[in-house]
Structure 1
Amino acid sequence: MNAGERGMEIEGKFIKFTAIGVYLEESAIPWLAGKWNGKTANELMDSVEFFREIVTGPFEKFTQVTMILPLTGKQYSEKVSENCSAYWKAIGIYSDAEAKAIEKFLEVFKDESFPPGASILFTQSPLGSLTISFSKDGVIPEVGHSVIENVPLSGAVLESIIGKQGVSPAARRSVAERLSELLKASDGSAH
């Protein structure tokens, strides 16, 4: 449904590392429509509350992070973990459970490497589990590699991508633009 990239400026040049796709279960549209129908893409883009509702909404989310440049699992997971921990500390919810979830997250990635074209796949269930899968050949695996049962981690991974301080403003903009279109096309039923 939505795409963006993540990169950084190196010596005055923007270097893209990953391409990111964010997909929401169909039930997200009627759930979001009651409050957000009729809003422009720019209004949605600027709304922290809108993206919090996407992250916490009672529908499945799927995120595909595809490598443009090679990256090790350790590099990727350390950066994501750092972003998640900073977010939790900022909102005052960092606990032993989150520390353990971060340990599991780092463990899942420690021996992985991602050449260009390889993908990391995150599925967030409405119940709070985070399923992590890997694809080296463009095929989405039927069974996840690992499942981490931690509601804050599940949400923080997506928040770290599309949230206000997320690593991919392009993915955030794409989500806002596409959902603005889909909400306008919906019947506007409330949640």
Structure 2
Amino acid sequence: MESLWKGHNVHGIHFPPAVTSPGSTDSLFLAGAGPRGMNIAGEFILFTAIAIYFHDNAIKILAPKWKGKSETELNKTPDFYRDIYSGNFEKMTRVTMVHALTGPEYSDKVTENCMNAWKAAGVFTQDKAEALDQFKEAFKYQDFPPGGTIFFTHLPASNELTIAFSKDGAIPKKWNAVIKNEALSEAILQSIIGEHGVSRGARKNIALRMSKILGNPDPSAKFNTEL
């Protein structure tokens, strides 16, 4: 299935159409990718490029509700993205650095965003606090040069978030840490493509690609998603 779809380039960083996540043998297809950055003094400054991959069973899970919807309809519907980050299928998030960043710099910002969101929703609990501590510990001694990459694998079947690191973007064979907390696994992806996520580009590209994929689930249907 994955061979029918092309990859995607984000400001010169190429994300292939299919990958195997660290420690896994299952192939995942590219659901979408986009930049994370900010407009500073009228110029867009790119910090990271982010790609999200799905297991093939995402199609049969998402299609009954979302097949036939346009890119615009999907992009404007929060429930579509909620069905992704809480969906019962394997997902992998790949975050590639454009500028050098230390592990604590990255993890501090992510944990702050997760904690603030949970507190605002009134669902911040001790188990979530412990998961955030494990998350920060995983990044404690990491440094990411340009091209350095973080791989998050979201495994709802086991309620786990696995984390792997690469200095050059190559997919490692094993993960560096595993955190057994479903809420954190969902929150990481929600912080990227949720309604207030950090990458509107990735969110929009998922809507574009998935509108095509869900509309053409037949393996014999070939179409170009290099957009």
TM bracket, shorter-chain basis: over 0.9
Aligned to 1:94: 124
Question: How far off is 1:53 after superposition?
Answer: 0.5
More helix by share: 1
Distance 2:42 2:132 in 1: 33
Moved over 4 A (4+): none
1:5 aligns with 2:35: yes
Question: How far off is 1:88 after superposition?
Answer: 1.4
Aligned to 1:50: 80
Distance 1:31 1:150 in 2: 22
1:58 aligns to what SS in structure 2?
coil
1:153 aligns with 2:178: no
Question: How far off is 1:133 after superposition?
Answer: 0.3
**Structure 2 portions without partners, runs of 5+:** 1-29, 219-227
Aligned to 1:35: 65
Return the TM-score normalized by structure 1. 0.95
Distance 1:15 1:157 in 2: 22
Q: How does 1:1-191 map to 2 (within 5 A)?
A: 1=30, 2-127=32-157, 128-186=159-217
AA at the equivalent of 1:28: A
Distance 1:28 1:91 in 2: 27
Return the TM-score normalized by structure 2. 0.80
What CA deviation, in whole Å up to 9, does each residue of 1:110-144 have, x standing for no partner? 21111101100000002320000001122211110
User: Which is further off, 83-92 or 55-64?
Assistant: 83-92
Question: How far off is 1:36 after superposition?
Answer: 0.4
AA at the equivalent of 2:52: V
Q: Which has the bigger relative contact order, CA under 8 A and spacing at least 6?
A: 1
**Structure 1 portions without partners, runs of 5+:** none
1:75 aligns to what SS in structure 2?
helix
Distance 2:138 2:73 in 1: 37
Question: How far off is 1:14 after superposition?
Answer: 1.5
AA at the equivalent of 1:180: S
Paired-residue identity, %: 50
Question: How far off is 1:13 after superposition?
Answer: 1.9
1:20 aligns to what SS in structure 2?
strand
1:54 aligns to what SS in structure 2?
helix
